[in-house]
Amino acid sequence: MDLQEQLEELRTSTQAQLQAIKAENAKELQDLRVKVLGKKGSLTELLKGLKDLPNELRPVVGKQVNEVRDVLTKAFEEQGRILEQAQIQAQLESESLDVTLPGRQISIGNRHVLSQTSQEIEDIFLGMGYQVVDGLEVEQDYYNFERMNLPKDHPARDMQDTFYISEDILLRTHTSPVQARTLDKHDFSKGPLKMISPGRVFRRDTDDATHSHQFHQIEGLVVGKNISMGDLKGTLELISKKMFGEDRSIRLRPSYFPFTEPSVEVDVSCFKCGGEGCNVCKKTGWIEILGAGMVHPRVLEMAGVDAEEYSGFAFGLGQERIAMLRYGINDIRGFYQGDSRFTEQFK
Ligand code: PHE
């Protein structure tokens, strides 16, 4: 093959190789350019053969070399443009942005269902002129038991065993000690005492679906002149209707608490079956929601309040119990595990 044929062969084979380069392998173009047109490339290599040609042929072949270089240079530029276009096109397609797609939703948290429950109950009582009082979770034996008419050897203490920090300091077993603390502070010359106190309480309970070693109560206390059991019943009826529906009625059953006399257990008519009997009310038509009673004269006297002149009622309701009944929650542990699949159901 003489030099001219080799030149022609280089031109056609380079053009064919150029055509074959794909957009995703655009780097091969540069490699091929160096291989053909570079300082040590094939064309330069062929150029070296010029000196061996007869004189009259040299200008002709030299011209041909220049032509091939021009043609190939243009071909490289052209193919470079084509590949660049193809690359841009591919990039546009892969990075295309659909501005009509809905945005990603940022999930906003919500108040815990127990906080919602106590907030709701607080609002109802605030509307009736009650004050909302904070209590202490770490309490003295004195307020938790003694002042609630549960002296050291009282058998009813057994039902409320708790965590002791020392002999006299414990985690409160109920919100009732707040009764004694607010009674101590209240100035009865300014009017009756009406308060509620929501908060956390503790018991030495084994955790199961309906028991937890910590839970939440709302204490209620009204002390004034001529406060009667009728006031208690009216108040509880109102709160039951607000929490469980206007059609609810309540019933009081005799019970026992050392700090109330008489004491009652309060049932609300079943909001699910309306009283006919179902699985929620265990076929009785009634659901127990709280304990209450008339404040024991001893509790008043220990606070220096004249039990002849003043009387009152108190109640204590379990926040978890109310929420479980209202929302059909059947495992108390759901309240405390912080699983968003649980908490988000109460938005
Ligand atoms: N403290 C009682 C309990 O935890 C409930 C209660 C409160 C009962 C006030 C009567 C009056 O079981």
pLDDT at 294: 98
- Count the domains in the chain: 2
Residue 54: what residue type?
A: P
Cis peptide leading into 155, omega within 30 of 0? no
Length of the chain: 347
Asked if 162 and 200 sit in the same domain, the reply is: yes
Range of the domain at 161: 113-346
pLDDT at 107: 83
What token pair was written down for 169?
């300091």
pLDDT at 163: 92
Report if residue 79 sits inside a domain.
yes
Give mean pLDDT in consecutive 10-residue pieces for the chain, a chain of 347 residues: 86 90 84 90 86 86 89 91 89 87 88 96 97 98 97 89 94 98 97 98 88 95 97 95 92 96 95 86 91 98 98 97 91 93 92
Report if residue 174 sits inside a domain.
yes
Helix, coil or strand: residue 3: helix
Report if residue 103 sits inside a domain.
no
Asked if 58 and 201 sit in the same domain, the reply is: no
Q: Tell me if 203 CB under 6 Å of ligand 1.
A: no
Longest dimension (CA), the chain: 142
Q: Tell me if 244 CB under 6 Å of ligand 1.
A: no
Report if residue 72 sits inside a domain.
yes
Report if residue 168 sits inside a domain.
yes
CB neighbours of 242 closer than 8 A, spacing ≥ 6?
120, 124
Output the CA 248–ligand 1 centroid distance in Å: 22
Report if residue 105 sits inside a domain.
no
- Strand extents, DSSP E, 57-211: 131-132, 138-140, 169-171, 193-202
What is the spatial distance between Cα 14 and Cα 43, in angstroms, rounded to a whole number? 11
What is the spatial distance between Cα 142 and Cα 175, in angstroms, rounded to a whole number? 13
* Ligand 1 pocket mutation pick from 133, 161, 176 by most atoms within 8 angstroms of CB: 176
Asked if 152 and 66 sit in the same domain, the reply is: no
What is the four-CA torsion angle of 41, 46, 48, 53, rounded to 10 degrees?
Answer: -170
Q: Tell me if 319 CB under 6 Å of ligand 1.
A: no
Asked if 314 and 267 sit in the same domain, the reply is: yes
Handedness of CA 316, 319, 325, 331 (dihedral sign): negative
Cis peptide leading into 262, omega within 30 of 0? yes
Q: Which of 60, 94, 128 corresponds to the end of one domain?
A: 94
Output the CA 141–ligand 1 centroid distance in Å: 16
Asked if 196 and 251 sit in the same domain, the reply is: yes
pLDDT at 26: 79
Output the CA 266–ligand 1 centroid distance in Å: 11
CB 46 within 8 A of CB 7: yes
Asked if 206 and 235 sit in the same domain, the reply is: yes
Report if residue 287 sits inside a domain.
yes
What is the spatial distance between Cα 274 and Cα 24, in angstroms, rounded to a whole number? 73
| CATH code for the domain in which residue 232 is found | 3.30.930.10
Output the CA 257–ligand 1 centroid distance in Å: 7
Q: Tell me if 176 CB under 6 Å of ligand 1.
A: yes
- Give me the phi and psi of 193, to 5 degrees please: -95, 125
Minimum CA distance residue for ligand 1 atom 10: 292
Minimum CA distance residue for ligand 1 atom 6: 316
What is the spatial distance between Cα 335 and Cα 156, in angstroms, rounded to a whole number? 28
Asked if 19 and 81 sit in the same domain, the reply is: yes
Asked if 78 and 227 sit in the same domain, the reply is: no
What is the spatial distance between Cα 293 and Cα 310, in angstroms, rounded to a whole number? 15
Residue 225: what residue type?
A: K
Output the CA 316–ligand 1 centroid distance in Å: 4
Q: Tell me if 149 CB under 6 Å of ligand 1.
A: no
- Model pTM score: 0.71
Output the CA 228–ligand 1 centroid distance in Å: 18
Q: Which residue has the tokens 């509620």?
A: 196
Q: Tell me if 260 CB under 6 Å of ligand 1.
A: yes
Report if residue 102 sits inside a domain.
no
Asked if 134 and 54 sit in the same domain, the reply is: no
Asked if 130 and 196 sit in the same domain, the reply is: yes
Q: Tell me if 41 CB under 6 Å of ligand 1.
A: no
Asked if 87 and 122 sit in the same domain, the reply is: no
What is the four-CA torsion angle of 115, 118, 119, 125, rounded to 10 degrees?
Answer: -170
Asked if 196 and 321 sit in the same domain, the reply is: yes
pLDDT at 202: 96
